[in-house]
Amino acid sequence: MSTINFRRGAKNVAVSLTFVSALAIPVIAHAQEPKKDCEPGSWFCGETEQNGNKDLQPLPAETKPADAKPAEAKPADKTPPPVVVYQPPPPTVVVQPRDAPPAYYYVPRKAPRKKEWGLNLHLGGAMMGKGRDGNAGMGMTGLGLRFRPIPHAAIEGNLDFAWGRDYNGYRRGETGFTLNGLIFLNPKNTTQVYLLGGFGWAGARAVDDRDGFDRMEYKYGYFGVQGGVGLEFRLSKAVALNVDLRGLVRGRIDDHKRQHPEFVSGDGKSTNTSGAGLLTGGLTFYW
């Protein structure tokens, strides 16, 4: 019995000590906190200093070498954290191949053709041989109006006047009108070669004034054709020199051609057809 009672008493003491210790721990912790003044009802209260370190000895000062430089105060690192910007990936570009454009060929535009008008003044002479009396020869002068629609071609109308001794030896005066076409072979050059051809009409008055013959007067009418070659030399844009050689063949168209033929040979043969060569030269004024 005594042993059992002893164990029960020890157990109760241990439980009581444990309970008392649990209650005492918060009280001891609260008593250890430094307080400026004692609270009312405190069991233990001691006077405190304002600084609370009256009885503490100061720490010895840190000794530095004489040549030691004072440590530089490092500025506080105030660098803000890096800003991370999110950039979306670039959009995907799909390039569709295209057919190459067709080749472009530059075609220079032709300059517009300039139409020209011209006034031709010329002199010339007829080549018909010496004639019956050896004194045949005629000179001529005239003017022409030329229209040149393109550089390669022109149309010209001429009015000519001739005088002199004809093949029969008669004193003759003649007026003629001809219409000619001209083809320029090299119109871009300064010296241009041209071909001409045309037709015309003429009227003549001849007087037989030879010594020993009765004075007789004759009138003739002609239609003929001509053709030739010439040169035109451009002195400037507005002025050109020209010279040409033409061949002329013509026949009578008047009412007296049968009764009075123009040419009668020694054996009695007659004809009303004649021909001659014409050499002319002159100036052409263009605008």
Domain spans, the chain: 116-258+267-286
User: Closest Cα to residue 206, out of 225, 190, 222, 194?
Assistant: 222
Bridge pairing between strands 171-184 and 153-165: antiparallel
- The per-residue pLDDT for 211 is 81
- The per-residue pLDDT for 102 is 81
- The per-residue pLDDT for 170 is 94
Residue type at 286? Answer: Y
Does 116-258+267-286 carry CATH code 2.40.160.20?
yes
Q: How many CB atoms lie within 10 A of CB 126?
A: 20
- The per-residue pLDDT for 176 is 97
Residues 122 and 230: their CA atoms lie apart, in Å, by 13
Q: Residue count of the chain, please give it.
A: 287
pLDDT in tens, the chain (287 residues): 445 455 665 566 555 666 555 555 554 555 455 554 555 555 445 444 444 455 556 665 655 555 555 555 565 566 777 877 767 777 787 777 778 778 877 777 766 668 999 999 999 999 998 998 899 999 999 999 999 999 999 999 999 999 999 999 999 999 999 999 999 999 999 999 999 999 999 999 999 998 877 789 999 999 999 999 999 999 999 999 999 999 999 999 999 999 999 999 888 899 999 999 999 999 999 99
- The per-residue pLDDT for 24 is 53
Torsion on CA atoms 23, 29, 31, 35, rounded to nearest 10: -150
Give residues with Cβ within 8 angstroms of 257, minimum separation 6: 272
User: Quick one: CA dihedral 129, 215, 219, 282, positive or negative?
Assistant: positive
